[in-house]
Amino acid sequence: MRQLILLLTLLSLSACSKLTLSNYDQLKAGMSYREVMDILGNADHCEDLVANRECIWGNRDGRHIQVNFVAGAAVYFNQNGL
C-alpha cells in the first residue's frame, strides 16, 4: 500500500513539473501544438471551438497555462499561479 501511495505521489509531481514560469516564458506566437507540447507535455484539456482550439495544462480553476491556437498556430497565452 505504501508503495502505491509513493508511486501515485511521484506521478502527480512529475505531471506538474512542466507547469513553470520558465516553461511559460518559452512559449511564442506561431508555435504549433506539437512545439507547445514538447515544452509543456500533453494538455489536460483541449476544446475545439469554431475558429480556434483552446488547451489547458493544469487545472483551469487553479494553477494552469492556457494556449489558444488558430489555424494550428499559437496566438494567445495565459497563466495562473505560476
Q: Are 21 and 14 in contact (CB under 8 A)?
A: no
Q: Are 68 and 57 in contact (CB under 8 A)?
A: no
CATH code at 60? 3.30.1450.10
The residue segments making up the domain with residue 25 are 2-80
- Would the pLDDT of 17 be above 90? no
pTM, full prediction: 0.78
If one counts the domains in the chain, the total is: 1
Q: Are 44 and 56 in contact (CB under 8 A)?
A: yes
What is the reported pLDDT for 81? 93
What is the reported pLDDT for 7? 46
- Would the pLDDT of 12 be above 70? no
What is the reported pLDDT for 60? 86
Question: Residue 7 belongs to what H/E stretch?
Answer: helix 2-16
Tell me the per-residue pLDDT of 23-79, one tens digit each, with 9 for 90 and over. 999 999 999 999 999 999 999 999 998 899 999 999 988 999 999 999 999 999 999
- Tell me the C-alpha to C-alpha distance, in Å, between residue 67 and each of 1, 2, 5, 6, 9: 38, 37, 32, 32, 27
